[in-house]
Amino acid sequence: MVCEGSGPGHRDGWGIVVWQNGLPVYLGREPNDASKDPLFEEAVRIGEINKLFSPLIGHLRKASVGLKTRENTHPFTMNEWAFAHNGTIRRLKLRYTTDSQWFFELLVSEMEKNGSDVVGAISANVKLVREVYPYSSTTFLMSDGRNFYAYRDASENIEYYTMYYARTSLGMVVSQEKFFDAPWKSLENGSLLTVRKDLSYEVQPILPEIKPRAV
């Protein structure tokens, strides 16, 4: 396994997903530094021109587990779902995939098993990870093209594993950084934000807040 993410920044890959005809499609996905990749600029340009794309998930990768390849670059897709994760789930003993892909597949499998109960699947699986595996964060974004979910759970370095959301004239924006002026609100640790297609939303606690470990 190769760990590329020991230095500063998120330079190990980038990906942007939108939905067309009910399925996620990539505007671009490369295992490169987005700040130096002209394909990233082109993908952003396409996203800006086609403002009807909604929702959109973008991710800049800082690798901790898994090879620096296109296949290991977020967001990941499965059926109608797309998923992007920030954090590391440890002691999984994976050989050909990443902890993020494992976690995503676990969530989708749980939803299929329990009649597409998304909140129930998220609750069950973040509880499983918390109880069984050491982890830095299970913070993620996920969507099926209709509803959008953002979950935040950090066991360490809580100032790094943040999640903010803001209602703007263009819609709802969810990000781990406040990258423009907006009425940002912070998602609490252990809480899930659900944004519906009509842009109504709710925040609900999924697991009790834990005191993050010092690093």
Residue 40 belongs to domain with CATH number:
3.60.20.10
Is the C-alpha dihedral spanning 121, 98, 60, 13 positive or negative?
A: negative
Q: Is residue 7 domain-resident?
A: no
| Domain interval for residue 136 | 14-205
Q: Is residue 88 domain-resident?
A: yes
The identity of residue 22, as a single letter, is G
Q: Is residue 213 domain-resident?
A: no
Residues 6+ apart with CB under 8 A from 161: 86, 87, 136, 137, 139, 152, 153, 154, 176
Q: Is residue 212 domain-resident?
A: no
Q: Which of 184, 182, 190 is nearest to 209 (CA)?
A: 190
Structural domains counted in the chain: 1
pLDDT at position 208 is 76
Whether 120 shows a pLDDT value over 80: the answer reads yes
Q: Is residue 145 domain-resident?
A: yes
What are 66-100's pLDDT values in tens digits? 678 888 899 999 999 999 999 999 999 887 788 99
Distance CA(110)–CA(85), nearest Å, equals 17
Instruction: State the chain's mean pLDDT as an integer.
Output: 88
Q: Is residue 110 domain-resident?
A: yes
Cα 50 from chain centroid (whole Å): 22
CB count within 10 Å of CB 90 equals 12
If you compute the radius of gyration of the chain from its CA atoms, what whole number of angstroms results?
16
What are 19-69's pLDDT values in tens digits? 989 999 999 999 999 999 999 999 988 877 766 567 999 999 887 766 788
